[in-house]
Amino acid sequence: MGILDGRTAIVTGGARGVGRGLSLALAKEGAAVVMAEIDTETGPATEKELRDLGTRALFVECDVSRRDQVEHAVERAVGAYGGVDILINCATGARPATAFRTFLEHTDDQIELQLGVEVWGSFYFMQTCHPHLAASPAGRVINICSMAGTERVPGFMIYSAAKEALRAMSGVAAREWGKDGINVNVICPTAATATTERFRAEHPEEAAASLANLPLGRFGDAEQDIGRVAVFLSGPDSAFMTGQTLWVDGGAVIHA
């Protein structure tokens, strides 16, 4: 028995990186997990990985920046499992090749990609899922944001701006949707992924500085550290929490 038995979750970008960790953690607590994922290699692979664990999983190819594909993904989730109880917006337009670009080096294409995924994609999923979340006995939205935004980290102008736009959207939705029985919260994670490993290889000095800034001395595990917090925010123990940001980052951000 898991605390999410009988629940259905959509995880955007749910087949790789942090998203995969979230999918695994939710599935192991009993949730049916629908991964809205653009990567047609990791999508089927992670679906099989989850199903091999004896859990319910479905990969739906989806470009979250397109409303028609978002609506199709939600239809697939509802058709397969009867509704949507949990929405986690984790898909990102961030790419290793465009990390650590100065403000002046940013391009129109980079800005359009990040806004299309982080902002428009999350907006489309939240709007489309709203009636299903409102029909759930415990609707939950978790938006994955970043300390790059809250701390205004140099080299990540549009990523920071997009994540902070999503965080602001989350707060407004939390205020408006409480009456509908929907809790909306944010996680700002720091986790070890293939992208962070590439970053450490290509930018060893910056990576070492990032690690040195973590009081706990390590990057988080996408499933055990980040995923378990998502389980908490999806389950009954967080029923009185909404509009909050949780920094799950080993202490990188500590605010008074």
Active site residues per annotation: 159
State which H helix or E strand residue 191 sits in: strand 191-192
Give CA–CA dist 35/52, Å, rounded: 16
CB of 81 closer than 8 Å to CB of 52: no
* C-alpha span between 185 and 142 (Å, rounded): 5
Q: Which residues contact 251 (CB under 8 A, 6 or more apart)?
A: 214, 215, 216
With CA atoms as reference, report the closest residue to 142 among 54, 25, 221, 1.
25
Q: What is the residue whose two structure tokens read 């917006």?
A: 89
Q: How far apart are CA 102 and CA 82, in angstroms?
A: 46
Burial class (CB within 10 angstroms; exposed 0-12, middle 13-18, buried 19+) of 97:
exposed
Crossing angle for the helix pair 122-135 and 67-81, nearest 10 degrees? 30
Contact 161, 173 (CB under 8 A): no
